[in-house]
Structure 1
């Protein structure tokens, strides 16, 4: 069925790269044997993929402006769970319209999700982050290597030994009573710049093992599909304990701002992070034992320099 769908996409030339540019496509069966050693190996990826829906329809290109744009623009033409992977992208999108330029050695992909319950849509980015950290942990343990110190920085960044190595971006549109979500992942696997990479950390261990983009991607989808079914059927609560073990913020003390009607400048207060609220924001407690929810102010580049406090009743 998936092969027939791929043929239809090619024959009808319906994939778009932008509003007025078609995306030329060829089938995997029509491709010459991959000669570039740093190209994404489709066969290796498919061989270890064990999902029933996510990641099974693959769009791959050596170079794209943005995988996120490809899946967003073609959301209704490709099956739910389809993934777009690029070896290099030069107009990748980050939070607040930031551009994410990605060199070779990065893992760059976006995929499609559809959801009906708007209450859990904001929590999806946490599931994507968790699936990635758990996938990489499984791969290292499988090869007899202690897990890397890969952690989640709320809301959607991945950090390794204090340096950013990845980011998650989820965008959604509401259509026909469903949320069409495009989830994008960027991860430094084997590129040293601009910060560090997973394999740079492995080289320091002198373990002789090197993570491959293909095995990370398939392991991610194997994890994500399982976690996604939990989120849809049971909510985020069954995943919370595992998430809190992976993120950076338990009991973290931070400064937040609160606007006072009698003063022009906001008041700064110190709070302690306790977890997440049901809506996906940060749950914190003040030194006066008052529970509050922390929201980004929408202006600051760093979320933790632009949090505002809202009291919980």
Structure 2
């Protein structure tokens, strides 16, 4: 079989990234400019454009004017993110920005199993992200933020319980300082105006009784909530609705959340969820409200009474308060309180 001609070969990731950087301003760019940026001939331009479109990048083409993105986008950049992290006083970890991957959590889980140390990973496009219960979290280009942190704990004397809640608290605090009011829903949802803005997924490699690695994934909707292909099972919100301009400052946003997550891991290693417990009530969206707790074979109804010092849900039923540990459980507001 003869080798592909230059016009037939798929563009490499650096070429695609160079083209994306050119188009990021949202302006029209000619075929000549596209060819120069991607390092391909005019005859091959449409193939490069189609490769980006296949990744979900919405490139528009207008005869006589050229190619553009429908709106400007701030591309994720390692040097910019690291600069923000330094200003935030965060630990300096290896950071990688991918153009595309199936799941940032999956990639870091594999690296954790290979013995790699603390690091951060993000991607412009995520095609098979995972939430709890195996739900998909797909990240279209420019519309979401996908961040995963690999963190090694020499030991977890207080166990892993409540880590997802602690991460939710520090993320809510960080967003609050940037002007966005966030509420939390046990055990891993970030809410904006009562709708799901983002979610947290914590996965363990090893045993909590000894050295272990934890991969913490954070997914957040930035814009175009109606296009987010995530089986949330609940109404979805986007950060752009908060109208503070933060959704367009993706590097600052990612660094702010990453710094909060790293600081939380440091504190959690020493004190467990007890260090965060008193802060939960200030963000608890369901506290004092009638709720339904879905189990694999039944549903339990009661009044949400916050969480205990281990991060377990406190549910009042018939005057008694029960403790429920996060696992294969789903919690939602009960709209028919008289039922």
**Same topology, TM > 0.5:** yes
Of 15, 19, 22 in structure 2, the residue corresponding to residue 35 of structure 1 is 22
Q: Please give the residue correspondences for 1:102-117 in structure 2 after superposition, counting only pairs within 5 Å.
A: 102-104=139-141, 105-115=143-153, 116-117=155-156
CA distance in 2, matches of 1:134, 1:36: 34
Count matched residues. 259
CA distance in 2, matches of 1:208, 1:61: 24
Query: Over aligned residues, Cα RMSD in angstroms?
Result: 3.3
CA 209–238 in structure 1, closer or farther in 2 if over 3 Å, else same: closer
The residue number in structure 2 matching 1:201 is 242
Of 83, 88, 108 in structure 2, the residue corresponding to residue 71 of structure 1 is 108
Question: 2:189–2:200: 8 Å Cα contact kept in structure 1?
Answer: yes
Counterpart secondary structure, 1:152: strand
CA deviations on 1:111-158 (whole Å, 9 max, x unpaired) are 111232264312111122122211111122xxxxxxx33211111111
Question: 1:296–1:303: 8 Å Cα contact kept in structure 2?
Answer: no
The residue number in structure 2 matching 1:121 is 160
The residue number in structure 2 matching 1:291 is 321
The residue number in structure 2 matching 1:261 is none
**Gapped regions of structure 2 (runs ≥ 5):** 1-11, 25-72, 229-235, 335-339
Of 225, 233, 241 in structure 2, the residue corresponding to residue 192 of structure 1 is 225
Q: Please give the residue correspondences for 1:224-263 in structure 2 after superposition, counting only pairs within 5 Å.
A: 224-255=261-292
CA deviations on 1:159-210 (whole Å, 9 max, x unpaired) are 11121111111110215922211111110123333333111221xxxx6665
Counterpart secondary structure, 1:117: coil
Larger CA Rg, structure 1 vs 2: 2
Question: 1:167–1:187: 8 Å Cα contact kept in structure 2?
Answer: yes
Of 211, 214, 217 in structure 2, the residue corresponding to residue 181 of structure 1 is 214
The residue number in structure 1 matching 2:252 is 215
**Gapped regions of structure 1 (runs ≥ 5):** 1-23, 141-147, 259-264, 307-313
Counterpart secondary structure, 1:233: helix
